[in-house]
Structures are given as structure tokens and as C-alpha cells.
């Protein structure tokens, strides 16, 4: 449904997106995830038509909607795509029903048809009782539902979300993730969702593109990224908690692995103790967090930070020495530059 080829975007001397290529099947829920400044929002804006690529093309189905090499793009209103902003961007002088009705009115639909569609989407989002209220009379979560209802009202084939849950509290974010996926399934549209929160990415996506410095580090299913990370960056960015990377050197020698490479160990494979063990790494105890019936233990020493997920945690105070025992073999090996070696 979405085909991106050699897509780049430059702002003066800064290249925000660098030769990105990927294909998104119809009906997929693609999440673009990465740290701040990685290029994910710029990519979404190019998909929406709010930015013209410097190079490369974007196609929706069989139609090219942006061509950076030729310097043109189809207008945002003609792309059969809807966009929800982080700020919701509701019209404050219009009621909830009026906000949802507006894009239908612009599209030239008859009044009766518009009213029927407004009622339908308000019911789908569970806000049919709010139709006569104004945005300042409803909560943030309700405003988010109105923004989504307005987006899907014209039945776009592509739904674009720019960090839509970042203004909500933690409990409401979890609830709205479920709501967004329900709306996605109900519409049958192809969705692209931008977030810096890898938990959102891994729980919502059918496909994930991990971006870093304007490039895609890895594209695949959430399961693929966690079980088989392609780069050191992906290994330490996805997962709850993410994997541990330890430089191979004096503190960790592995047969056949060059000094300077990085060994990956999964948190669930590490063991911790308050007593020294042969080969264990001594760190300062930093924190312990309950996690689905188990405990996540973190230890630090200088730039080194290790996390283990264990059934029982030793009784330690912050700053006490804690020993991390590693499995006999790492789950993966990465070069110092980040690419995967094994």
C-alpha cells in the first residue's frame, strides 16, 4: 500500500532522512520508532504531503504522490490519507460533531450523508454523547478521540499518527493504544504511527521501522526485532528491558571474538547475587523494579550498565556491590561499529 524508495530530506546542511526504502503491505500497522531527532516525524510529514522530499519517491498503491527528484508532490488533501497531530488541532469554535463534520463538508457530501457518517464515527469512538460539546468542555482523552473521529470520517485509505498519545497520562495511554488498534481494524486502513516510545511500538505494530540518524536500522515484525536484532542500536533500543551489550576485552574475553567487539546478553539470561562468583561482573546496585511477577535489577559502574530479570532479588541498598553472572555464550556478537557479526 505504501512504497518508499531512496527517500531523503535535507534542511540546509542537515540531512534528516537518508535514502530510506521500505514497502508497507495493505492493512499493516507500521510504527516508526527511534530517539528524538532520528527523522521519524519528518518521514511522516513527507507521507502526509506537508514536506517535499529532497530525493526519492513515495507511492500510495500504484500512484506516486511525492517525487523528490522532480520536486513535486500531490496536495495533502488529495492523498486519501488522514493525519492526527500530537496537539489534536481541533477547531475550538466548533462542537465535537462540527469538527468531525468539517472534512465531510469540504469534500462536498450532502448534509444527510454527513450527519449519518458523523453519528457512525462518534459511536465507533465511544463519544456519541459528546457531539454538542466544545473541545474546551471535554478531557484530553476525549479530545484525542474527536481528532481520530475527524480523521477517519472521510474514510481515508491511509491513517497517519504523529505521537498522538504523548500528551496523555500513563493509564490513558494504555487504554488509547487499545482504542487505536480497534479503530485500525474497523477501518481496514493502512496505518503509520510515529513514536519515541518503544513499548508503544512493540505492543501496537504489525511492522516496525527502527530509525537512527535518519536511516532505518531494521525493518520487520516486533518479534523479529527482539529475537534477532540486526544492529547494536536495535538490540539496546527495543525490548522491555532491552538487551545488554558488553565490550569484549579485559573484563570479558570470548574465544574467537576480537577485542572491541560487543557481546549481547539478554536480561532474562543473567543471574545476580550479593556474593562474589567466579567470572561475575561486580557493579553498584542501582535499582530494583517489579515486573510481571519478576524483578528487574539494574547495576552500574562508570559507563557500564547491566539489567537482569530475576525471580528473586537480593536485599540490597543503592550503592551496594551486586554481582552479575553471565551465561556461557552471548546471544549475539556485534562489531564496535554496530553491525552484527554473529
Architecture field, domain 2-235:
3-Layer(aba) Sandwich (3.40)
Report pLDDT for 190.
Answer: 96
| Residues in the chain, total | 342
241-334: CATH number: 2.40.50.140
Q: Categorize the per-residue pLDDT at 254 as very low, low, confident or very high, splitting at 50, 70 and 90.
A: confident
Predicted TM-score of the model (pTM): 0.88
Confidence band, pLDDT 50/70/90 cuts, at residue 252 = confident
Cell of 247: 565490550
Q: Give me the chain's average pLDDT, please.
A: 93
pLDDT at residue 303 tops 90 = no
pLDDT of residue 8: 97
For residue 311, count CB atoms less than 10 angstroms from its CB and return exposed for 0-12, middle for 13-18, buried for 19 or more.
Answer: exposed
DSSP string for 249-315: BTTB--TT--TT-EEEE-GGG-EEESS--TTPEEEEEEEEEEETTEEEEEEEETTEEEEEEESS---
State the angle between helix axes of 111-124 and 140-152 in degrees (0 to 180), rounded to the nearest 10. 130
162-181 mean pLDDT: 87
Exposed/middle/buried for 315, CB within 10 Å: 0-12, 13-18, 19+? Answer: exposed
Residue ranges covered by each domain of the chain: 2-235, 241-334
- What stretch of H or E contains 31? strand 29-33
Which region holds residue 282: left if phi is over 0, alpha if psi is between -120 and 50, else beta? beta
Integer Cα distance of 39 and 73 in angstroms: 19
Q: Residue 29: how many CA atoms within 13 Å on its side-chain side?
A: 21
pLDDT at 244: 96
* 173-187 confidence digits (pLDDT tens): 888 899 899 999 999
Relative orientation angle of helices 111-124 and 96-106, to the nearest 10 degrees? 130
Q: Provide the pLDDT confidence category of residue 26 given band limits of 50, 70 and 90.
A: very high
Sign of the CA dihedral 83, 142, 190, 193? positive
| Three-state DSSP class for residue 9 | strand
Max avg pLDDT among 141-145, 258-262, 282-286? 282-286
Name the residue with cell 553471565: 326
Please provide the DSSP assignment of 40-70 as one string.
HHHHHHHHHTSS--SEEEEEETTEEEEETTT
CA-to-CA dists, residue 251 to 101, 161, 220, 255, 281, angstroms: 64, 45, 34, 13, 8
Amino acid at each position: 500500500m505504501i512504497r518508499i524508495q531512496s527517500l531523503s530530506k535535507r534542511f540546509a546542511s542537515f540531512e534528516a532522512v537518508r535514502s530510506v526504502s521500505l514497502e508497507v503491505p495493505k492493512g499493516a500497522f507500521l510504527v516508526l520508532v527511534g530517539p528524538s531527532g532520528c527523522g521519524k516525524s519528518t518521514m511522516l510529514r513527507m507521507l502526509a504531503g506537508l514536506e517535499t522530499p529532497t530525493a526519492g519517491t513515495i507511492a500510495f498503491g500504484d500512484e506516486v504522490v511525492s517525487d523528490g527528484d522532480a520536486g513535486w508532490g500531490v496536495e495533502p488533501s488529495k492523498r486519501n490519507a488522514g493525519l492526527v497531530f500530537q496537539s489534536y488541532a481541533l477547531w475550538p469554535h466548533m462542537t465535537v460533531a462540527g469538527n468531525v463534520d468539517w472534512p465531510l463538508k469540504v469534500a462536498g457530501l450532502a448534509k444527510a450523508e454527513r450527519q449519518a457518517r458523523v453519528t457512525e464515527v462518534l459511536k465507533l469512538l465511544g463519544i456519541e454523547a459528546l457531539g454538542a460539546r466544545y473541545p474546551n468542555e471535554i478531557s484530553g482523552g476525549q479530545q484525542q478521540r474527536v481528532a481520530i473521529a475527524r480523521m477517519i470520517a472521510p474514510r481515508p485509505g491511509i491513517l497517519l499518527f504523529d505521537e498522538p498519545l504523548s500528551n496523555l497520562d500513563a493509564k490513558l495511554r494504555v487504554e488509547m493504544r487499545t482504542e487505536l488498534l480497534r479503530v485500525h481494524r474497523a477501518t481496514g486502513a493502512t496505518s503509520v504511527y510515529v513514536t519515541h516510545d518503544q513499548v508503544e511500538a512493540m505492543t501496537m505494530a504489525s511492522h516496525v521501522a527502527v530509525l537512527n540518524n535518519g536511516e532505518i536500522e531494521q525493518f520487520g515484525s516486533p518479534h523479529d526485532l527482539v529475537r534477532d536484532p540486526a544492529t547494536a542500536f536495535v538490540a539496546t533500543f527495543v525490548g522491555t528491558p532491552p538487551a545488554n551489550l558488553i565490550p569484549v576485552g579485559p573484563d570479558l574475553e570470548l574465544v574467537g571474538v576480537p577485542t572491541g567487539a560487543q557481546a549481547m546478553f539478554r536480561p532474562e539470561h543473567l543471574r545476580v547475587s550479593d556474593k562474589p562468583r567466579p567470572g561475575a561482573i561486580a557493579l553498584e546496585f542501582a535499582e530494583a523494579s517489579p515486573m510481571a511477577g519478576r524483578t528487574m535489577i539494574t547495576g552500574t559502574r562508570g559507563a557500564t550498565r547491566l539489567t537482569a530479570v530475576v525471580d528473586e532479588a537480593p536485599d540490597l541498598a543503592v550503592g551496594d556491590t551486586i554481582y552479575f553472572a553471565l551465561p556461557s555464550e552471548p546471544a549475539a556478537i556485534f562489531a564496535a561499529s554496530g553491525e552484527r557479526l554473529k
